[in-house]
Structure 1
């Protein structure tokens, strides 16, 4: 019985080794950028106090008065979005596209004074978010993060198998042997932090995967189903709401990403879609009227209003709430002020609800400070697991080699593990393809070098 178990252990270790060597640098980056973004609610008002915090007044200016001041300050700029003040002591914010730059412009809501600007893509939080989502290199980065997260799941599964006590005492299994020194202590730190963090790490990896461009998009298309009747009475464009989300900025909730964007003006259908969409927006509804719609429909503070850019575009009121039960996405006709769609938590499918809950837990927003502390601990565990794994590898690697764990020749046909790997490869196609590539490289290159050495 001992032979097969040792052999299976050997193979699991080999996969864990390959996955760890690839994933560790990504995990370190994701954990560090995640910690920065995790504390955005506390860091932003501290770092940008003069832009974000104002003295509470008695009478707020209208959204249109604030918009007029911004347009006067940026005569060549195009205002893309308006974020009303979060509370009585916060400024209003406009997103202005000006001369190829995207700016966050802050305005005192009481006297309409422009307080200043911030580069929307080059501030600490935007950089952390863009690095976290796509390494700041667009689609290629998104696929690499997706690949790393998928392999991270392989890492957790194989790591749990390697950790399994198999009759050992609790020391080095449930807690580290602090009396140990050198590689043994690093091994204990790696195994114990990996075990205690495994369930939360899986939650983090899976909830993070839902945002990825390939797997996440397929997942959304499969599970984000809304009743067709919700969109039957309004003209729809061929764009989906995901166009409003970018690597550095979140506008609509995840559950809304693959829903169609409605069109303004029923006459858009008759005037010919292409004719209409090439013309600029000419809203007859004021920004204040749209804000009033949000207030009257009790949309949670913290929402944004995205302005239409074309003649058949719509105003979009959206809040990606800390508590997903307060999520709201409304599309408003720019000519009539008619609400073309109003989608809330109760309209989400069970899977979409579970995903939104996972995403908010991932971002540390569901239960306030407690949620932040838990996610901080998970990030620190990821850092400890990654660094200790790299240190162990560095200490045992041979001169001029990778130190791939040797593979025994008497490996049994271990069915369970093969099935687990096949399931992971099918569930995460990028992982499946890279598994095949690794298998070929392993067979052709690594083993040949071992034979030559022997």
Structure 2
């Protein structure tokens, strides 16, 4: 019995540490996740005048739409074009305007500029940037990754604390309604956490694939395409992940670590440029649209314009159904398709990740998927808030209220194995675990025994 109590107290202590660090992040991620989850509905509600148009007989070509845009805003430097997804949809251009990235909406039938939107500071862009990197770049990305990793520690330790150990179903599968006060809150917290544990693990792991450190390393190890796919393609040192930003997703995860091809690496173009007198003409934007249509790319795709003389047009759709994913790189001079990557080219890991991400974002099965993920977000909010409330109720005045460290610490092989595996699988989490363990053992435990500063 003593051994079990020691393990329980140790698990409770680490559950406390994990919860105190993770809870604020989980609350933020749940709120921003709900906003992004209902992006389709919120966008129409908030920006209907920008997104919807009245269909007419004739659609202007993409080049004509671009020309009309330049007539209205000559200073706009366009970097991306999103053709209308339906007959009632507007066309969208992304451009640098007065030093800011701006979304510009154009009526594809008349060429009229419908309006603009700051690409970084609209509701969905802010929610996505907060969700991914707290809007503070690399530091925020690493913090989110740490929070997700510690969230796994939280779930594992929480399940151990919840484990029945001979109790009946009350307090295990359903709350024990005989409890009152703090005990009742503990019942709600534990039971809610149990029912949501598997889904929370899914959310944490699927979200981790987008992180800048672990996610990139994971992709480099597991996300591989046959080398022959790129044998005849002139490649740059730039990866496709350069097209993705915190506030905007352009290419699928499966494509992030693939090289960007190079335009103009053909004999006729090289000879033309040898004299240095003039650059070869670019293909038109409409020609890229025609290529996408001929190759059956699902509507809703974007076209990233070439960056520099060697850049390519990139047609990409990050589809709600990942089986419709497509990424095409097109030579800006000849119109040759340098790469065309689809679901059939993805490996098992890439397919699993893409499917997980679409489920995570509530896009794969329509409203049913959205409502399921909403339930998960609400569960996360309740678990985080109730955990903080339980801590506040038991916290002694003027003290942090850390659960007591057991005097005897026998080696729990299963628990130690889980910790080691987590540390190896998620290096940032492993490093932070060692730091927290060292601080706990060297400082907090000694303060607690010497001064009773922590409970």
Query: What's 1:314 paired with?
Result: 312
Distance 2:73 2:450 in 1: 69
Partner deviation per Cα, 1:235-268 (whole Å, 9 max, x = no partner): 1010000000000000000000000000111149
- CA displacement at 1:175 relative to structure 2: 1.4
Distance 2:367 2:251 in 1: 24
Do 1:91 and 1:107's aligned partners in 2 also have CA atoms closer than 8 Å? yes
Partner deviation per Cα, 1:93-113 (whole Å, 9 max, x = no partner): 000112210000000111111
SS of match in other structure, 2:236:
strand
Do 1:326 and 1:344's aligned partners in 2 also have CA atoms closer than 8 Å? yes
Q: How does the TM-score come out when normalised to structure 2?
A: 0.96
Q: State whether structure 2 residue 26 is matched by structure 1 residue 27.
A: yes
Q: State whether structure 2 residue 145 is matched by structure 1 residue 121.
A: no
1:269–1:429 CA distance, 2 compared to 1 (3 A):
farther
Q: How does 1:126-137 map to 2 (within 5 A)?
A: 126-137=125-136
Query: What's 1:224 paired with?
Result: 223
Query: What's 1:236 paired with?
Result: 235
Query: What's 2:99 paired with?
Result: 100
Partner deviation per Cα, 1:196-230 (whole Å, 9 max, x = no partner): 11111111000000000000000010111111111
Q: State whether structure 2 residue 358 is matched by structure 1 residue 357.
A: no
Query: What's 1:55 paired with?
Result: 54
Distance 2:290 2:268 in 1: 28
Distance 1:97 1:268 in 2: 34
**Counterpart pick for 1:448 among 422, 446, 449:** 446
Query: What's 2:263 paired with?
Result: 264
Distance 1:268 1:448 in 2: 74
Q: How does 1:266-345 map to 2 (within 5 A)?
A: 266-267=265-266, 284-345=282-343
What value does the CA root-mean-square deviation take over the aligned residues? 1.8
Do 2:132 and 2:144's aligned partners in 1 also have CA atoms closer than 8 Å? yes
Do 1:281 and 1:308's aligned partners in 2 also have CA atoms closer than 8 Å? no
Partner deviation per Cα, 1:372-402 (whole Å, 9 max, x = no partner): 0000000000000000000000000111111
Distance 1:55 1:177 in 2: 57
Distance 1:302 1:108 in 2: 16
Distance 2:72 2:285 in 1: 18
Distance 2:330 2:366 in 1: 32
Distance 2:142 2:235 in 1: 30
Do 1:305 and 1:318's aligned partners in 2 also have CA atoms closer than 8 Å? yes
1:171–1:341 CA distance, 2 compared to 1 (3 A):
same
Q: How does 1:361-376 map to 2 (within 5 A)?
A: 361-376=359-374
SS of match in other structure, 1:48:
helix
Distance 2:56 2:197 in 1: 49
Query: What's 2:407 paired with?
Result: 409
SS of match in other structure, 1:174:
coil
Q: How does 1:164-179 map to 2 (within 5 A)?
A: 164-179=163-178
SS of match in other structure, 1:116:
strand
Deviating beyond 3 angstroms after TM superposition, the runs of 4 or more aligned structure 1 residues are 267-272, 280-283
Do 1:153 and 1:205's aligned partners in 2 also have CA atoms closer than 8 Å? yes
Do 1:95 and 1:105's aligned partners in 2 also have CA atoms closer than 8 Å? yes
Gaps of 5+ in 1: none
Query: What's 1:202 paired with?
Result: 201
Query: What's 1:82 paired with?
Result: 81
Distance 1:45 1:376 in 2: 19
Query: What's 2:437 paired with?
Result: 439
SS of match in other structure, 2:180:
coil
Distance 1:412 1:38 in 2: 45
SS of match in other structure, 1:162:
helix
Q: How does the TM-score come out when normalised to structure 1?
A: 0.96
- CA displacement at 1:412 relative to structure 2: 1.4
Say how many residue pairs are matched. 449
Do 2:105 and 2:116's aligned partners in 1 also have CA atoms closer than 8 Å? yes
- CA displacement at 1:5 relative to structure 2: 1.0
Query: What's 1:400 paired with?
Result: 398
Distance 2:340 2:114 in 1: 33
Distance 1:229 1:217 in 2: 23
Query: What's 1:139 paired with?
Result: 138
Q: How does 1:174-185 map to 2 (within 5 A)?
A: 174-185=173-184
